[in-house]
A and B are shown apart, each in its own frame.
Chain A
Amino acid sequence: MSGIIEVENLSFSYAPLSTVLKNISFEVMSGTFLAVAGPNGAGKSTLLNLLCGMLVPKSGTIRIDAVAIESYKTDDLAKKVAVVRQESVPVFGFSVIEMVLMARTPHFGQLGFESKADREIANEALEATDTAQFALRPLGSLSSGERQRVFIARALAQNTAILLLDEPTSFLDLKHQVGIYDLLKATQLEKGKTIVAVTHDINLAAQYADEVLLLGADSSYNIGKIEDILFPEQIEKVFGIRTFAGSVGQEKFFLPLGKLAKDSRQINSKPNSSQQK
């Protein structure tokens, strides 16, 4: 059985001599949570934009549901793949429910209005993201964390099998970061969605994702199960920083070791060791 997303020999560059992605091949099985990590400029967001058809590959192919991505029309692709970008405040004062309903735009009838079914789908998405209580409030009046949930609700209302997220938690505090990942995990487990999330946080990735794609700045890449990919030597190679790896129960965690961090000397005396707690 082949994956719901298949990437074959994918290459991309913005300018002729600066290749961002080089000969990348991987596939994502339906219902998998894939985290994409790597340093700035490694091409994480580029890859995401290629996967949703916003950018066109220089060479190689991307297949969604066994069909080449370029043969999808915009509205057909939007029925397979939903994208969540970093939340932003819209220019005009649309309310939460108005915005989530927009996800149904390709399904609107002749008059340009949503059907009852569209409303039910939107309401479900609000319930799932725990945003129903401010359905009628303008988006601008919400906090960043709440707004990011609404953007996810809109993506859920597209009713797609695949959900792509570009650094969904960058500007959120700890509680909201965890909240978003819990929400993503729940949609993966309950609705069987395939999730691809670009993230800077390898610890959250390790905790929630099934697989990780580690993109290096030198166009190298590694993909596989979390435990096969995320270990201190690998992280040092890709991010150029030493880490302290520990674990709590099943969960591994990585602590970056900056030169001048307060306790870096202490930990450095036994680098890369594991501690059981």
Chain B
Amino acid sequence: MKELLTPRKLVVRTASAGIVLIAAMFVCLLIGTESISLKAVFHGGGELSAVNPDYEIFVKVRLPRIILAAIVGAALACSGVVFQALLRNPLADPYILGISSGAGLGAIIAVLSGFNWTLWGRSPIAIFAFAGALGTVWLVWFIGRLTGKFHVTGLLLAGVVVNAFFSAVIMFLTSVAKSQQVHATIFWLMGNMTEEDFFVLWIGGGCVLAGILALFNISPQLNVISFGEDDAKSIGVNTARIQIIAFGIAAFITAIAVSLSGLIGFVGLVVPHAVRLVFGPDHRQLFPLSGIVGAIFLVVADTLARIIVAPAQLPVGVVTAIVGGPFFLVLLVRHSKKVGWLK
């Protein structure tokens, strides 16, 4: 039994979660194959002649990667919230409408074409994946529209079919590619964090944050839409407008996340569920808390990916699935009595 959400509670919970996130990021910064002395880090970068290795690792290697993990985690978690609400399906995740296969197709085309230019510091893989993701979402949305105004079943089926088709094309391209290219593609498909420029992080982080704030802004309407389109309309929600805004933002931040780090599964499915199970289904709370919890989850998962088989590294997507799965099951069993749709 839960009391009503108040603005005060929301602020307190969001701030507490934010503090946990910062603490987690800080701890993860200190963990790694090289042990780092904080004291040395605070000495700063130093002159060219005397490179401070602790500072270099801390600021130029680990910090950007951890910030990247936080951005991607937040984007995927919030996008998962949107798709679960719009499709009224707790099993939905950011990839359900084919974003993953579209991005994957873009990535493999970039690998095969052997381009080696960069755009704003981004490799062709990232650019093509971004374009492929958005293009696929548009395609699925367009096909979904043909089946009716906002027909959940039509949209889902379109997503499934487009997903299957693009996956087949990906497999075809993989089978004709050279083994080195295949390796690069598969590594990307498994989801992988690398050290990014601060410039890229600023842009990506800014877009994701703006997207999440915009989603928060329409969260009361999404609450109503989760009861169905007709219900929402008769309560006075302009469903067509809200759906297209939510859908567009979710697709956009997912495409950013995918182009930054490849296909990282489980975050967008598990995090919204976990937050919903503990704090309730209100979207005004789901967006800020899922964003922060998603960031924490991916920061920790990526740190594990760095250290489990050190000095080698695991793809972070493997860790999210292995850690996320059992964690989610525990939550599910402990809290399921409170949740209606599980009965």
A contact residues vs B (CB 8 Å cutoff): 52-54, 73-79, 81-83, 85, 88-95, 97-99, 101-103, 105-106, 108, 111-113, 136-141, 154, 158
Q: Given A90-B226, A98-B282, check contact A138 B338 (CB 8 Å).
A: yes
* A140 pairs with B237, CB closer than 8 A: no
Of the residues A73, A92, A103, A112, contact of B276 by C-beta under 8 Å: A92
Identify B227's interface contact among A74, A90, A111, A136, CB under 8 A: A90
| A102–B223 CB distance below 8 A | yes
CB<8 Å pairs between A and B, sample of 12: A54-B230, A74-B238, A82-B234, A91-B90, A92-B340, A93-B338, A95-B1, A97-B4, A105-B223, A105-B235, A112-B219, A112-B220
Residue among B2, B7, B219 with most chain A CB within 10 A = B2
Choose among B85, B216, B227, B281 the residue that contacts A93 (Cβ–Cβ < 8 A): B281
- Is B43 engaged at the interface, CB distance under 8 Å to the other chain? no
Inter-subunit contact A136/B2 (CB<8 Å):
yes
Give the distance to chain B from A207, nearest Cβ to Cβ, in Å: 27
Query: In the complex, which range does the number of interface residues on chain B fall in?
Result: 35 or more
- The answer to whether B221 and A91 touch across the interface, beta carbons within 8 angstroms, is no
Answer yes or no: B199 CB below 8 A from chain A CBs: no
Q: How far apart sit A102 and B282, CA to CA, in the bound complex (Å)?
A: 11
Cβ-closest chain A residue relative to B1: A136
Q: Whole-angstrom distance from the CB of B15 to the nearest CB of chain A?
A: 16
Query: What is the CA–CA distance of A108 and B223 in the complex, to the nearest angstrom?
Result: 13
10 further A-B contacts with Cβ under 8 Å, apart from A101-B4, A105-B237, A113-B7, are A78-B236, A85-B230, A92-B341, A93-B338, A95-B1, A98-B281, A103-B235, A105-B221, A106-B237, A136-B1
* CB-based A-B contact count at 8 angstroms: 113
> Which chain B residues lie closer than 8 Å to A78 at the CB level?
233-236
Measured between beta carbons, the chain B residues less than 8 angstroms from A81 are 234
Q: Give Cα A84 to B202, complex, Å.
A: 48
In residues 316-343 of chain B, which contact A (Cβ within 8 Å)?
338-341, 343
CB distance from B93 to the nearest CB of A (A): 15
- Find out whether the CB atom of A85 lies under 8 angstroms from the CB atom of B89: no
- A79–B236 CB distance below 8 A: yes
Q: Complex: how many Å from CA A95 to CA B216?
A: 20
* Complex contacts, A76 vs chain B, CB 8 Å: 236
B residues engaging A (CB < 8 A)?
Answer: 1-4, 6-7, 85, 88-90, 216-217, 219-221, 223-224, 226-228, 230-231, 233-239, 276, 280-282, 284, 338-341, 343
- The 9 tightest CB contacts between A and B, nearest first, are A140-B340, A78-B236, A92-B281, A75-B236, A83-B234, A106-B236, A93-B339, A93-B340, A112-B220
Contacts of B228 in A (CB 8 A): 88
Q: Is the CB of B340 within 8 A of A138?
A: yes
- Asked, given contacts A75-B236, A113-B6, whether A140 binds B217 with beta carbons under 8 Å apart, the answer is no
B228 and chain A: residue at smallest CB distance? A88
How distant is the Cα of A252 from the Cα of B339 in the complex, in angstroms? 45
A95–B280 alpha-carbon span in the complex (Å):
9
A151-B228 Cα distance, complex, nearest whole Å: 13
Task: State how many angstroms separate the Cβ of B214 from the closest Cβ of chain A.
Answer: 12
Give the docked Cα–Cα distance between A250 and B115 (Å): 87
Contact of A141 among B89, B238, B284, B340 (CB under 8 A): B340
Q: Are B340 and A89 in contact (CB under 8 A)?
A: yes
